[in-house]
Amino acid sequence: MPSLFGILETVLYVEAFEHACPFYEQVLGLNSIYRDPRLCAYDVGHRGVLLLFLRGHSLQTVHLPGGTIPPHDGHGPVHVAFSIAAEERQAWESRLDEAGVTIEGRTHWPRGGDSIYFRDPDGHLLELATPGLWPGY
C-alpha cells in the first residue's frame, strides 16, 4: 500500500476575515502565505498549512489553469490541535491571557503531554498540545 506523509492542510470555515485573520495572526502569530477573497492560508511551523475559508464561499467548483477544486464547506464549531514545545506551555497561557482569550480547559494526558483549550472568534475549539499526547508526538 502507498504511504501517507502527513496532513498537509487543515481547513476551518469562518464568518468574516476581519475577525478571524487578526486572531490567527496576532494571537497565534501565524504568517499568511496566501490570501484571496474566499480564503486565507497560514504556515504552521513549516509543517502544515491552516486554511481559513469564508463559510459559504466555496460551494461552487473552482476552475484553475491546472484543474478544478470540487465544492466544500462546513458548519458548526470544529476542533484543531496545534503542537507546541512543553517548555512554552506557560508562555502560551500568558499570551492567551494577555490577548483576552479565555482558556476553557486544561488536560494532563496519561502519556505525559498537556493540552490547553480555547476558542477562536468563530467558536472553533483550538488546542495547544505538548509532546506526549499521542505516541511519537
The CATH number of whichever domain residue 45 belongs to comes to 3.10.180.10
pLDDT at 3 over 90: no
pLDDT tens digit sequence for 83-117? 999 999 999 999 999 999 999 999 999 999 999 99
Is the Cβ–Cβ distance between 10 and 111 less than 8 Å? no
| CA 33 – CA 31 distance, rounded (Å) | 6
pLDDT tens digit sequence for 115-125? 999 999 999 99
Q: Structural domain tally of the chain?
A: 2
Write out the residue range of the structural domain in which residue 17 sits. 1-74
Query: How many Å from the N-terminal Cα to the C-terminal Cα in the chain?
Result: 24
Is the Cβ–Cβ distance between 30 and 95 less than 8 Å? no
Is the Cβ–Cβ distance between 96 and 103 less than 8 Å? yes
Q: Under DSSP, is residue 114 helix (H, G, I), strand (E, B) or coil? A: strand
Same structural domain, 30 and 15: yes
∠ CA(43), CA(31), CA(108), 5° rounding? 65
pTM value is: 0.94
